[in-house]
Chain A
Amino acid sequence: MMTETLCNYPDRDEYLVAYLYDDINSAEQTAFGSHLSGCRHCQQDLLALRGVRSALGTWAPPEPVFSNRESRVASPASRVRSPEARAASREPRAASWWREMPAWAQVAAALFVLGVSATIANLDVRYDRSGLTIRTGWSQPRPAAQVPANAAPWRAELTALESELRSEMKASQVAAAAVSAPAAQAVVSDADFRRRVRALLDESEKKQQNELALRLVQFQTDISAQRQADLRTINQNLGFIQRDTYGELLKQREGMNYLLKVSQKQ
């Protein structure tokens, strides 16, 4: 690009921009500074470019929304804590997002966990006159009558195995209750997990809305472009028809004139 410059200072544009950003060594700064004091053109240019810089200063990117992270709370500098401070604080830290699974995998995992939990817990959901009832299978002992009297011998063995398993599970539950701290932590992490899934779902919904908006705009643009093209084609065709009709009219008129002349002669 050629610069319309009325100044003959060697490499003037480079010095001007270096001077503008104060990224220039002191000797060059002094030299260009003294040139500047006598060059009206450079003064105006510098002033205008300072104006551009000031306008550039108004352009800030929108606040980033990094999903569910402490980075939204404080400035990056304040977030850098010493290892001692981190050790002192007992709060569970947010996992690093760069080590996380993708969103779809997390949602799939959440659904999978819910499904498996419901299956394991033998979930029984009923809605009757007494309202909504949710009950896990483990909390209600199955009636013995479920095993028919004439069942095969393996059924009896299965029942025995089941009761054995139940008693083992009961024992392990008692042991787990004794260790209260990890259990509390598990509750906290469950809550975190739920919050995280919710945030992911929100984000996904927002993404879908944006996609929809984009597609709508695209659709609108396509329709508009198609309409314009159709109008152009119609105009063109009308022009052709008009021209043809006019040509036909001229021919007919010439024919009539000729016939008129011939009839007058006769």
Chain B
Amino acid sequence: MTWSDEELVSRSIGGDADSFNQLVLRWERPIYALAYRVIGREEDARDVCQETFLRAFRALGGFRGQAKFSSWLYRIALNLCRDWVRRQRRTPVVPLPEDVDVIELAASREPTEPIEDLVARRDLTRAVEKAMARLPEEQRTAIILKEYHGLTFQEIADLVGCPLSTVKTRLYQGLTVLRRDLEQSGK
């Protein structure tokens, strides 16, 4: 039998630590993916992910179930990401130099995929990543939550605390900027 998030939460509050462990296993990847896409660094995304669950665990007693557990978790993660972005603005980290390792690429490709296609796909991914990184934080967050986490506009509005129409506008503007950026980079 698979317990729902809410059931696992109430069991965790009742002292069943294993239920919380199951929640962690269920949500660690989405939370990590969210953190990675917002802050763009694997290690820091992992740290944010762990910190999210630690905070959730500590604050579990205060969770009254007004919102979905996932929304509550996303909110914690987004707040941590925001803190990270603020810290980064003060002390930016120099990113590692980018280089394409063809051998590594060849090893990771699908058996039927030509190397040229793979390189093109990798280039496109990098262009998307760069374009996303240039977006204002609000637009980036809206796109990430909608595109990769499938939240409804209303859920995003509740999560980030802004009107529904603002979410839609941010999303449209963000996508439009991405479109222009990708066109300029020839993608």
Q: Residues on A close to B: CB < 8 A?
A: 1, 3, 11, 13-14, 16-18, 20-21, 23, 48-49, 51-53, 55-56, 58-62, 64-66, 71, 76-77, 79-80, 82, 84, 86, 96-99, 207, 210, 213-214, 217-218, 221
Contact = CB atoms under 8 A, between A and B. Distances in A.
Among A53, A80, A214, A218: residue with most chain B CB under 10 A: A80
A55 B46 contact: no
SS class, residues of chain A in contact with chain B:
helix
Contact of A23 (B24, B96, B152): B152
Given A52-B178, A207-B43, A64 B128 contact: no
A49 B179 contact: yes
Contact of A98 (B2, B53, B147, B175): B53
A236 to B, nearest CB: 27
Q: Which 10 A-B pairs have the closest CB atoms?
A: A61-B36, A14-B168, A13-B172, A17-B172, A96-B21, A59-B128, A79-B25, A64-B32, A58-B125, A52-B179
B75 interface: no
A62 B177 CA distance: 25
A62 B36 contact: yes
Nearest to B51: A98
Contact of B173 (A1, A64, A86, A98): A1
Among A3, A53, A58, A65: residue with most chain B CB under 10 A: A58
B132 interface: yes
Contacts of A217: 94-97
Contacts of A56: 128, 143, 147-148, 178
A13 B169 contact: yes
A65 to B, nearest CB: 8
Contact of B146 (A21, A48, A59): A21
